[in-house]
Amino acid sequence: MAGFVLEGIGIKGISCAVPKKVFDNTEFYDKFGKEAVDSTIKMTGVRYSHRAPDEQTASDLCFVAARNLIEKKGIDPAEIGAVVFISQTPDYRLPATACVLHKRLGLSKNCMAFDVNLGCSGWVYGVNIVGSLLKTGAIDKALLLFGDTSVRTVSPEDRGAVMLFGEGGSATLLAKDENDSISGELMTDGEGFKSIIMPAGGFRNPNASTERVEQPDGVVRSAYDGYMNGTDVFSFTITQVPKLIKNFSEKNGKTPDQYDALILHQANLYILQQISRKTKVPMEKIPVSLDRYGNTSGTSIPITLCDAYGDKSNENLHLLLSGFGIGLSWGVVEANINSDDIFPIVVTNEIFTEGTEVFD
């Protein structure tokens, strides 16, 4: 297993931003029928989600989260030596959205900036990536920005998907601290690359039709819409994720329930319950935010932290955090975070209008 230890690195701030509009899944009664909607809500646990207007992007949400984090932490933006934007809904095909965020945040030229394409495992991967940059670079502070606007990546006819996702952005500050450390393990199974996929829009299927037609699974979508084989993803999750959580804890001389909390990617409620059962961590130690924010892809770990601890004062939390999904890709991170460094979720309608006017 691809384990890592980042001695002398810590998570020193987490902020999240979500769009203003709150969507209630019962608004789908007319479209999908009451019975189907109610049973989907019961299984996924998602009743409400925040949804962005078309013009608001994941980077807009990350920008607001990062600006809030910089203000709250009282950091000089010039101190930030790296910014990594992880998303599957970037602003453009080119350039990297991290460069746009670098400009908007007014960061120094002495700063690395790049994008990474990962979804639900993206935040735990990002902790490793950004922590490694700090470890090897002559920089003291770095930002991990994860955001996705997933609702618009799926067909509006895809009930299971449109009722599951929410949208949001996050900013996580990592910094050098000789008394702190982060460890974790990251995994991949590329055999499952088709389990969650948006086949067109890249360069593999250049002439795919944009027409939405009924697919073998009965859902009307085009190759530009996201597809998820829910059965296989569920099967993967309930076997691989608990195994990683248990093995990692054991290697660190613990059982999973000995952490202050297990922070899980908010895939859906049924999956959280299965992981709880298999890892023997009671649901009381697994905070849930998906009922009000939906599955926000890799943002769901920071959203869950901000939701659970944003208003708590000076609690030293020893946490196990796990993200898993598209790739297939999954991982676990063990970290100490003080609740004073976890800020309440910000709601915003801010849009970077300058970003739409490019050919000047």
Partner 1 sequence: MTDQEKIALLEEAFEADEGTLTPETELDSVDGWGSMAKLTLIVLMDEECGKTLKSDDIKKFVTIKDIMDYMG
Report, as residue numbers or ranges, the catalytic residues.
120, 265, 295
Indicate which single residue of 1, 24, 26, 39 sits in contact with partner 1 (rule: CB under 8 A).
39
User: Angle at the Cα of 231 (from 244 to 272), degrees rounded to 5?
Assistant: 45
Alpha-carbon distance values, 332 to 87, 237, 286 (Å): 19, 13, 14
Between 231 and 258, whose beta carbon lies closer to partner 1? Answer: 231
Between 63 and 236, whose beta carbon lies closer to partner 1? Answer: 236
Q: Please report how close the Cβ of residue 119 comes to partner 1 at its closest, in angstroms.
A: 20
x/- letters, 40..79, toward partner 1 (CB under 8 A):
---x------------------------------------
Spatial contact of 143 and 130, defined as CB atoms under 8 Å apart? yes
Amino acid found at 220: V
Indicate which single residue of 197, 238, 288, 308 sits in contact with partner 1 (rule: CB under 8 A).
238
Tell me how crowded residue 59 is: count the other CB atoms within 10 A of its CB.
Answer: 27
Answer yes or no whether residue 197 interacts with partner 1 by CB under 8 A.
Answer: no
Between 112 and 283, whose beta carbon lies closer to partner 1? Answer: 283
* Residues within window 127-166 making contact with partner 1, judged by CB under 8 A: 160
* Residues within window 89-108 making contact with partner 1, judged by CB under 8 A: none
Between 80 and 328, whose beta carbon lies closer to partner 1? Answer: 328
Cα–Cα distance between 237 and 129 in angstroms, integer? 23
Answer yes or no whether residue 232 interacts with partner 1 by CB under 8 A.
Answer: yes
Instruction: List the one residue out of 281, 290, 263 whose CA is nearest residue 172.
Output: 263
Answer yes or no whether residue 274 interacts with partner 1 by CB under 8 A.
Answer: yes
Answer yes or no whether residue 4 interacts with partner 1 by CB under 8 A.
Answer: no
Tokens standing for residue 340: 């004073």
Spatial contact of 303 and 95, defined as CB atoms under 8 Å apart? no
Between 245 and 333, whose beta carbon lies closer to partner 1? Answer: 245
Between 50 and 159, whose beta carbon lies closer to partner 1? Answer: 159
Answer yes or no whether residue 32 interacts with partner 1 by CB under 8 A.
Answer: no
170-178, 203-211, 229-237, 288-296 -> range binding partner 1 (CB under 8 A) = 229-237
4-12, 54-62, 228-236, 348-356 -> range binding partner 1 (CB under 8 A) = 228-236
225-233, 250-258, 304-312, 336-344 -> range binding partner 1 (CB under 8 A) = 225-233
Cα–Cα distance between 113 and 88 in angstroms, integer? 16
Indicate which single residue of 32, 48, 270, 352 sits in contact with partner 1 (rule: CB under 8 A).
270
Answer yes or no whether residue 283 interacts with partner 1 by CB under 8 A.
Answer: no
Indicate which single residue of 235, 252, 316, 356 sits in contact with partner 1 (rule: CB under 8 A).
235
**Residues in contact with partner 1 by the rule CB under 8 A:** 39, 43, 160, 229-232, 234-235, 238-239, 270, 274
